[in-house]
A = this chain, B = another copy of it.
Amino acid sequence: MSKMQRIGVLTSGGDAPGMNAAIRAVVLTASQYGLEVIGFRHGFNGIFQRDFQLLQSTDVRQISHLGGTILKSARCKALPQPGGAELAAQILHELGIDALLVIGGDGSFRGCMALSHYYQGQIVGLPGTIDNDLDGTDLTIGFATALQTALDAIDKIRDTADAFERTFLVEVMGRHTGYLALSAGIAGSAEQIICPEYGETVDVADIAADIRSYQQQHGACSYIIVLAETMYPAGAAALAQELSVQSDTECRAVVLGHLQRGGSPVGSDRILATKLGAYAVEQLMAGHAHLMMAGEQAGQAVLFPLSLTGAQHKKADPFLLAWQDRVLQQHKAT
């Protein structure tokens, strides 16, 4: 690692608001050490296709507020192929890349692990995903913005739900964790939240009974259910229809979908991205970042083994999970 001169950076997997702020911080920090930064485009594909650009301070001056990623993103089919990681490592060596920073999620980090068998330089991960489903960091880059996007939608839907005293089912992303669903639901005063932490299956009759007992208690009123994306395989529309029948109320579904990935990052995402980007480069220079993810825990930047970031299912806040459940139960009890 003596004499690090040139590092690579790429964004991979689902894009997340804040990735650009991370790129900016990487470049500005690298510049302090006299490091050259090469940005690969379209995730790991940029390595295979030798599609890259030199990133200098002026290139990243006004990018932090932009959604998406100036380096583009993609899933890479070549890396998991037999010989893929070996080839990528070879190209990185040819290009004189002394270390590689990968901003992405679970799948991207598995790509890093594969690459590490052949690549000699340090590989450091930065947690960039709206799902907040990585262990080793309190929050991932992009989560706070996605929460805000989901919340803005729920606030708007509440207006209509209130005007018509209607039930709405709002499906949010989050993959295997209910972090986004719970957060958006709590913030949006959702009457009910359906996410994996409350159990893997959805009991439609039970929910229909909840709606009815809530409306018996409060009179005709809006009722918003936030649904984590994996919970009802037949889809939110099907669940809404089923609930309409079983609860004898009018229930509509809204699937937020890909609009949750975009948008100008909120303040906390830009700050987190800046911090982790800076920290990652510093730790790289200090030489102990190899196969680590730069995360933040309790306000402190920390390193965490990349191999463990997806080991457990990160759980949403148990305090809030329990509280929301008690609020719901109380309506039943009354």
Contacts and interface: CB of A to CB of B under 8 A. Distances in A.
Contact of A159 (B67, B156, B163, B326): B67
Contacts of A184: 267
A147 interface: yes
Interface stretch (A1-9, A58-66, A79-87, A205-213): A58-66
Nearest to A261: B160
B149 A156 contact: yes
Query: Which of A168, A252, A261 has the most C-beta atoms of chain B within 10 angstroms of its own C-beta?
Result: A261
Number of copies: 4
Contact of A270 (B186, B254, B259): B186
A31 B326 CA distance: 11
Contact of A267 (B61, B148, B160, B258): B148
A147 B272 CA distance: 14
A68 B163 CA distance: 5
Nearest to A277: B323
Interface residues of A, number: 82
A189 B155 CA distance: 22
Given A15-B164, A262-B160, A268 B144 contact: yes
A185 to B, nearest CB: 10
B62 A160 contact: no
A307 interface: no
Interface in A18-77: 21, 24-25, 28-29, 31-32, 57-58, 61-62, 64-69, 72-74
Contact of A327 (B28, B153, B155, B188): B28
Interface string A294-334: 00011101000000000000000101100100110010000
Q: Which 9 A-B pairs have the closest CB atoms?
A: A156-B262, A67-B159, A159-B262, A298-B298, A68-B159, A15-B163, A68-B163, A187-B270, A187-B267
11 contacts: A57-B218, A58-B218, A62-B158, A62-B189, A138-B299, A151-B267, A156-B261, A156-B262, A157-B262, A187-B271, A275-B323
